Structure 1
Amino acid sequence: MLKSLERLSRETDGRYATDVELQFLEDYFTSMQKRISTYEKIRDAETKIIDKVEKQKQEINPELSKLNERDITDICRRNMIAILRCSAGAMLISDLDYLRDNILIWYRTIVRAYQYDRHDDTIYKLLENNTKAYLTPEEAKLIISVLQLNHTLLS
């Protein structure tokens, strides 16, 4: 949204925007209440979502929280919280470019350095499923697309 507004401002400098150029604003404002509701539900359920993901990870494979025999549960938890918060923020303002350019590229370096990427499929599926549990189907569509972008870029 922010980059789109910046582009609109640049491209329409000295003239009125066309209906086509304004369409992204109409689309955003049409979905704004749903975005706010989704954001608030994720914010309010964050601890429960992350707790469930951690519990299910342990049930599936206790090694998902270890790196070279070292317990990294706290690191994984902190990173999942950061990804969930940044994802919810990007969904709220409809700015996936911000998420990709500023958060995910930095985080991908960490994921690869610690070899978390070998467990990404499992972890992101758990994160998606546990997040969806607190949302309506329409709200879930908004955040799941962001989480899937995360997964794609981090894998």
Structure 2
Amino acid sequence: MIQQIDQLCVQADGRYATDDELLFFQRYLKTARLRFALYQKLQKLEPQIIDKVLFELKTKEPDLLIINGQDLTAKWQRDTVRLIRYAATAVLTDDEVVFKEKLLIWFQTIMQSFKAERSCEATYRAMQKVLKNLLTADEAALFCPLIELTRVTLGPTRV
């Protein structure tokens, strides 16, 4: 959304924007209330989401977050909270591109260096399951695609 506004300002410099150029605003306004409410809901649900995802991971694969004998659960929690917050902002601003460019590509390098792709795959697969139980269908339709993008970007590369 922010990039679209910037682009519109450049394109329409010195003139009024056309109806076609303003369509993204109309699409955004149709979902604005839902986006605001979802943003606030995610803020409240964040601890519950983290707890439920961690429980699911520990239940299915207790040693998933132990690497080289070191328990990385606290690091996992910080990283996962960061990702939820960035994704919530991306939903609020309707800007998947900024989410991918400002967080996911950078984060991908870090996760690869820690060899954490498998835990990322498991985390964001479990998170989608948790979210579908905590969010309405409309909310999940806005938020879960960002979590799927995260899973695909941070998970193991398939060749």
TM-score bracket, normalised by the shorter chain, equals over 0.9
The aligned residue for residue 47 of structure 1 is: 47
The aligned residue for residue 94 of structure 1 is: 94
Identity %: 31
**Structure 1: segments with no counterpart, 5+ residues:** none
SS at structure 1 position matched to 2:134: coil
Between Structure 1 and Structure 2, the one with more helix by share is: 1
The aligned residue for residue 31 of structure 1 is: 31
Deviations 1:35-74 (A, max 9, x none): 1111111110100110111111111001211111110000
The aligned residue for residue 69 of structure 1 is: 69
Q: Quote the Cα distance in structure 1 between the aligned partners of 2:140 and 2:118.
A: 25
Greater relative contact order: 1 or 2 (C-alpha under 8 angstroms, separation 6 or more)? 1
Matched letter for residue 86 of structure 1? Y
**Structure 2: segments with no counterpart, 5+ residues:** none
Matched letter for residue 145 of structure 1? P
Q: Is the 8 A contact 1:42 1:131 kept in 2?
A: no
TM-align CA RMSD: 1.0
TM-score w.r.t. structure 2 length? 0.93
Q: Is the 8 A contact 2:66 2:72 kept in 1?
A: yes
Q: Is the 8 A contact 2:125 2:151 kept in 1?
A: no
Matched letter for residue 123 of structure 2? I
Deviations 1:90-117 (A, max 9, x none): 1110111211111112211111011110
Q: Quote the Cα distance in structure 2 between the aligned partners of 1:154 and 1:21.
A: 34
Q: Displacement, 1:121?
A: 2.6
TM-score w.r.t. structure 1 length? 0.96
The aligned residue for residue 130 of structure 2 is: 130
Q: Is the 8 A contact 2:121 2:152 kept in 1?
A: no
Q: Quote the Cα distance in structure 2 between the aligned partners of 1:6 and 1:153.
A: 27
Q: Which moved more, 1:48-57 or 1:113-122?
A: 113-122
Q: Is the 8 A contact 2:39 2:92 kept in 1?
A: yes
Q: Displacement, 1:135?
A: 1.2
Matched letter for residue 94 of structure 1? D
Q: Quote the Cα distance in structure 2 between the aligned partners of 1:11 and 1:32.
A: 24
Count of residues paired in the alignment: 155
The aligned residue for residue 147 of structure 1 is: 147
* 1:119 correspondence with 2:119: yes
Q: Displacement, 1:129?
A: 1.5
Q: Quote the Cα distance in structure 2 between the aligned partners of 1:16 and 1:7.
A: 14
The aligned residue for residue 21 of structure 2 is: 21
Q: Quote the Cα distance in structure 2 between the aligned partners of 1:133 and 1:33.
A: 21
